[in-house]
């Protein structure tokens, strides 16, 4: 039940993001700035818990559309860390 709430919080935070922030997030987890050929319904995102701690950033395995997400103390921290990870990725020319 705790993990279900954890993943639910993630999806709620993703819904709060602007379209541009979600686009940046999609690039962060897939390294691709284009919609899948058959549409977003074919984009399979996997979310996996990756420890605890507000100081850690989420990481992604772009080949697998896998998000490694630490457990944060609040949704606000989750949003801040996701956006920080997306901003850091933009420095690698992936946007």
What is residue 95's predicted lDDT score, i.e. its pLDDT? 46
The answer as to CATH 3.40.50.920 being correct for domain 1-34+44-91 is: no
What is residue 59's predicted lDDT score, i.e. its pLDDT? 94
Domain ranges of the chain: 1-34+44-91
**Any alpha helices (H) in the chain, and if so which ranges?**
2-16, 19-30, 75-90
- For the whole model, what pTM was predicted? 0.81
Coil, strand or helix: which one is 89? helix
Name the stretches of the chain with pLDDT < 70.
1-2, 35-36, 38-40, 90-95
What is residue 39's predicted lDDT score, i.e. its pLDDT? 67
Q: Note if 63 is an active site residue.
A: yes
Q: How far apart are CA 35 and CA 26, in angstroms?
A: 9
What is residue 1's predicted lDDT score, i.e. its pLDDT? 59
Q: Identify the active-site residue in 63, 91, 92, 93.
A: 63
């Amino acid at each position: 039940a705790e993990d279900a709430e954890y993943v639910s919080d993630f999806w709620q935070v993703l819904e709060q993001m602007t379209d541009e922030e979600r686009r940046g997030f999609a690039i962060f987890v897939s390294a691709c700035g284009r919609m899948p050929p058959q549409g977003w319904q074919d984009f399979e995102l996997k979310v996996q818990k990756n420890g605890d701690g507000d100081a850690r950033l989420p990481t992604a395995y772009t080949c697998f559309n896998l998000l490694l997400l630490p457990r944060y103390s609040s949704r606000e921290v989750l949003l801040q860390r996701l956006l920080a990870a997306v901003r850091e990725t933009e420095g690698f020319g992936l946007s």
